[in-house]
Structure 1
Amino acid sequence: MERLSHVYILASRRNGTLYTGSTTDLARRVWEHRTGARPGFTRDYGVTMLVWYEAYPRIIDARVREYAIKRWRRAWKLALIEGFNPGWRDLYDEMI
């Protein structure tokens, strides 16, 4: 059976800086963001809280959704997060 792929949104804090990505291993990828294992945007801006995610059977589907969300207005992204996670909890601990 093939592993699920995910599209996800990280935040620096409630209503803070947002980052959207996709991966075939959500736990590993979020851990990399949290620990600063890779240089880039999330490490530079402290974007480490997993606040939203969706699962897809294929990585191509997750990437299509990721690219669509990246083109959205900020208000739409905030509404997506609020609908899924109104308390802006860090979902990483619940996920692993």
Structure 2
Amino acid sequence: MSSLRGFEKAEAISFNQKPNQKNQTKRTKMPKEAYVYILFNKPFGVLYIGVTSDLIKRIYEHKNKITGGFSAKYNVDKLGYFETCGDIKAAITREKRLKGGSRKRKIELILSQNPTWRDLYYDLLS
């Protein structure tokens, strides 16, 4: 028990130090994979473009209307298309590009990967 307390103290000291102190090692985070996705309410219906680092969780939130907003108001909860990006910055850049594009181009993108307009969320779960 006493050795555990010593460990806790050492960890507490380590995390309370300022980053520019000599004995502080720099901690870097691994970049998380990120996703850009397009939801729809019915084939050729209302579209919604979003970005997330946890695709399954985010689509679950849309389906259960946890977040409210546009997707809940228009019942946009079917995953029609998604892309994997290297990190969140790349995903946000891609999201902006997609949002700036025409509706026709967004539908073409969905049809290129998902011509039957099935809900891809269930594919992710299996």
Q: Does 1:76 pair with 2:105?
A: yes
Deviations 1:28-86 (A, max 9, x none): 00000000001100000000000000001100001000011001110000000000111
Q: Percent identity?
A: 39
Describe the superposition over 1:5-28 as per-residue Cα deviations: whole angstroms up to 9, x where unpaired: 000000001000000000000000
Q: Distance in 1 between matches of 2:115 and 2:50?
A: 20
For 1:41 and 1:61, the matched residues in 2 are separated by 24
- Report the Cα offset of residue 2 of structure 1: 4.3
Q: CA RMSD in A?
A: 0.9
Q: For residues 61 and 3 of structure 1, what CA distance do their matches in structure 2 show? A: 11
1:45 alignment partner in structure 2? 74
Q: How does 1:1-96 map to 2 (within 5 A)?
A: 2-96=31-125
CA distance in 1, matches of 2:68, 2:40: 17
SS at match of 1:16: coil
- What is the TM-score with the length of structure 1 in the denominator? 0.96
Q: Which whole-Å CA distance do the structure 2 matches of 1:25 and 1:38 have between them?
A: 15
Amino acid in structure 2 at the alignment position of 1:46: N
Provide the rounded CA distance (Å) in 2 between the counterparts of 1:72 and 1:2: 27
